[in-house]
Structure 1
Amino acid sequence: MKIKTKARRTAAAVAAAVMGLMGAVGFYDKALPDSYNIAGGEELTLNTFLGISSRPARKCYTTALTDISGRSSHSGESTLLLFGSVPVKNVTAVSEPRPMLVPCGEAFGIKLLTDGVIVVELTKVGGSCPARECGIRKGDIIISMNGENIRSNRDVSEAVRTCRENGCEVRLKRGGKDMTLTLMPTYCEGSYKAGMWVRDSSAGIGTLTFYDADTGAFGGLGHPVCDSDTKEILPLSEGAVGDIEITGLVPSAEGCPGQLVGEFSGDEVLGEITLNCREGLFGTLQNCPDDKEALPLGYKQEIVRGAAQIYSSLDGENPVAYDVEIEHIDLSESAEHDMVVHITDPRLLKETGGIVQGMSGSPVIQNGRLVGAVTHVFIDDPTRGYGIFAEDMAEKAKVS
């Protein structure tokens, strides 16, 4: 009887272990990305709670690639292994020379002109709203009116004045789709009106994340510039990097994020912004913003929970290194945010209360590598905020 009981317990323990193992395999299958960049000559390894290693897939095909900057790489297939032996899934591994980027941390001025204009409000004129009645909605991006490209508020006013009661053909974008509508303006208070407010530009303060000395490319902010009313990403027509003078700082407190306060110190253009996207702002600078040495790029699978530093400038002068902790890392491709960063440096906590608006883009350094950038502050706990992988930003800088 005792032997049978022991056998049952052993069988139950084995079954539980197998179920746990399969559960771990299923979790990592969904949680881990299907592709990785690795430094040339190195093997793919992941810093996960349970050890994940890799080996070349049985049917491994290697492809030589060259990006637009002339860097060569090789793409092949690898099998991820749990505990060094249990297959999780096959992934693509791209082997390339590890990029060297100058970590920045300087505040920079942002000037953007939109590609078209964004409808930010609809209002009644003379008892009705012509724009709403013809199908225009808040958040729409107006590209042209009566065949003429629209670039400013003045362009909209002129198009409405010209077409009058004859109607105006409006071409716009909504959710990435093109639409064409016919707007019939209303004559009210001595002029023809459409009943809509539009925005054609934006300006603000952010932080530079990195500079590529070989190409002049930069990445900054770590998140897109969005319209303050519609919350949609501003469609970029052209943009410029301007010199900014920090004039003050409002510290963060629980429930109230602070901000850097500044103003453009002149009309001098320091660089060109060519891309506004989910990963931030990208373009080219005329010169390297400071004399710091370039650091190797850290790939997402190399980041670990623990001590790190950020570079940030709170007074417009040279950036200062502050201690932080990386508390959470999400490698999944569906992740809304890549990292959680906790400010631990008493100097920064005393001066700012944690993260303030304007620090977005502050580079995160760990183990001598550029691994990410600060992007958002937690409203209920400004000592913590979200971050983005530097690797994702560097990929966008290649094509900006």
Structure 2
Amino acid sequence: MKFPRILPKILLGFLIILLLQPVFIWYNYSQNVRLLEGEEYYVNIMYPFQAELVCDQHDVLKINGSLLQNESTNVNLRDPLMVQAVNLGKANLKITLFGKIPIRHLSVRVLPEMKLYPGGQSIGIKLRSEGVLVVGYNEVDGRYPARESGIKKGDSIIAINDVKVEGINQAAELISENGETGSTMTFKLKRDEKTFIKEVNPYFCPNTNSYRIGLFIRDTAAGVGTLTFYDPTTKKYGALGHVIVDIDTNTPIDISQGEIVKASIINIKEGRRGHPGEKTGVFIEQKDIIGSIYKNTDFGIFGTLEKIENKNDFNSSPIPIATANQVEIGPAKILTVLKGDKIEEYDVEIQKIVNKNTPSNKGFILNIIDEELIDATGGIIQGMSGSPVIQNGKIVGAITHVFVNEPTKGYGIFIEWMLLESGILEESDINKAS
């Protein structure tokens, strides 16, 4: 006798869940999608109703194999919707239930097919920070003047007494000269993209016979990494796939200028559980400069170069890129250098797609399966960041991070995110539209 009383409540609850589901779908699936011409993208909603689909452009996309002739059409949400990119441009898709309840909003940009030279070359990286970087403290006659004034490790000193700071020698001279006057000095600092002023009183240091404020500072950084791609149209490149941080402060280096140079690998330190390995490379800072650096970001370093170096069978001509939607779990290849400047190809496996919708330098997980590479390096090592990942004849991304406790595994970044950060994708849109 109780069941009939409970049944309406169960049915009501089920109805509420059905009606609220589109709200959650909308919240989780309002997104931007980039497709190459001819690429297909499937929208899986799996909702037991028909819905209304509205597209603001009729000639950019096909829905389930057909161009939309009317402003809106009805679609069955039980089956996946196939969205196919047919022409360059941008289209907005809105799917609503009963014409009122939003289910999904897709902003789809159709990009031209793009071909890039894959990298793999080892490069020497030279960065000059904006101003000078504070990397530590030093006692001056029993005190720490700068630290007591609120200057922190990781701060950049960009001006002293309104004089722009361009190097450590200049900064030391300004501090010493002003210290002799006995006046308080003003330091213009940059921290987390914000600038502010701190006042510091220099103290005389008997050991150096000069006035000091108790800081260790640096104005340059150098290291070895791997080139990811080169675009022959814009002359732009991308490398590393992650930001360069200062080794002492662990903060990103805010660059004022930088160069990449030819590098040669002379030694490999094998990685093992808990101890990342590394490549040791040599380069001459003032010679063999092949490009400039204008950006140091979470997605890598970017700049311009005139031509790609060390072409071989693996990168003798440009190859297509893959968007994040095209990357699959399965076999792939990487290009990198283990000795000298010779680029070699090694087998890897993409094991998991972590996030293809939100820009990140941890978009997928890959595993090194090439026995020759494992024997030589133990897996992924420092200096291998930026090594391009090739799948189905396309550049899909680059190695970025190693799993410290499992060195054969690591993260990769989708090439799409690197191209967006470099500005190349936007420039390709403008060129096609003009």
> Aligning the two structures, in what range does the TM-score lie when normalised by the shorter sequence?
0.7 to 0.9
8 Å CA contact 2:265–2:337 kept in 1: the answer is: no
Residue 169 of structure 2 corresponds to residue 154 of structure 1: yes
Cα separation, 2, equivalents of 1:191 and 1:63:
73
Cα separation, 2, equivalents of 1:296 and 1:274:
25
SS in 1 for 2:288: strand
1:310 pairs, out of 327, 334, 337, with: 334
Instruction: Give the counterpart letter for 1:36 in structure 2.
Output: V
Distance 1:365 1:49, change over 3 A: farther
Q: Paired residue for 1:122?
A: 137
Instruction: State the TM-score, normalized to the length of structure 1.
Output: 0.85
Residue 33 of structure 2 corresponds to residue 36 of structure 1: yes
Instruction: Give the counterpart letter for 1:93 in structure 2.
Output: V
Shift of 1:245: 1.4
Where in structure 1 do 4 or more consecutive aligned residues deviate above 6 Å? 20-25, 48-51
CA RMSD of aligned residues (A): 3.4
Distance 1:344 1:118, change over 3 A: same
Q: Paired residue for 2:288?
A: 268
Residue 200 of structure 2 corresponds to residue 175 of structure 1: no
Distance 1:88 1:343, change over 3 A: farther
Return the structure number with greater relative CO, CA threshold 8 A, min gap 6. Answer: 1
Instruction: Give the counterpart letter for 2:211 in structure 1.
Output: Y
Residue 304 of structure 2 corresponds to residue 284 of structure 1: yes
Structure 1, residues 83-106: CA drift from partner, whole Å, max 9, x if none? xxx974212111121221111111
Q: Structure 1: any 5+ residue segments left out of the alignment? A: 65-71
8 Å CA contact 1:305–1:329 kept in 2: the answer is: no
Instruction: Give the counterpart letter for 2:136 in structure 1.
Output: E
Q: Greater Rg, structure 1 or structure 2? A: 2
Shift of 1:339: 1.4
2:229 pairs, out of 210, 217, 220, with: 210
Q: Paired residue for 1:227?
A: 246
Shift of 1:270: 1.1
8 Å CA contact 2:293–2:301 kept in 1: the answer is: yes
Q: Where do residues 1-400 of structure 1 align in structure 2 (5 Å cutoff)? A: 15=14, 26=24, 29-30=27-28, 34-45=31-42, 58=54, 60=56, 74-79=89-94, 88-164=103-179, 165-189=182-206, 190-265=209-284, 267-289=287-309, 290-291=311-312, 292=315, 293-315=317-339, 316-333=341-358, 337-398=362-423
Distance 1:63 1:217, change over 3 A: farther
- Percent identical across equivalent pairs? 31
User: How many aligned residue pairs are there?
Assistant: 382
SS in 1 for 2:283: strand
Structure 1, residues 15-37: CA drift from partner, whole Å, max 9, x if none? 49x9599779837843x572121
Cα separation, 1, equivalents of 2:231 and 2:158:
34
8 Å CA contact 1:62–1:75 kept in 2: the answer is: no
SS in 1 for 2:372: helix
Q: Paired residue for 1:68?
A: none
Structure 1, residues 164-195: CA drift from partner, whole Å, max 9, x if none? 12121111111211101111101121210010
Cα separation, 2, equivalents of 1:345 and 1:26:
43
Cα separation, 1, equivalents of 2:301 and 2:226:
10
Cα separation, 1, equivalents of 2:407 and 2:21:
36
Instruction: Give the counterpart letter for 2:34 in structure 1.
Output: N
Instruction: State the TM-score, normalized to the length of structure 2.
Output: 0.79
Cα separation, 2, equivalents of 1:314 and 1:20:
57
Shift of 1:354: 0.8
Cα separation, 1, equivalents of 2:277 and 2:343:
21
Q: Paired residue for 2:63?
A: none
Structure 1, residues 232-263: CA drift from partner, whole Å, max 9, x if none? 11011111111111111011101111011111
8 Å CA contact 2:351–2:365 kept in 1: the answer is: yes
Cα separation, 2, equivalents of 1:310 and 1:21:
47
Cα separation, 2, equivalents of 1:185 and 1:368:
61
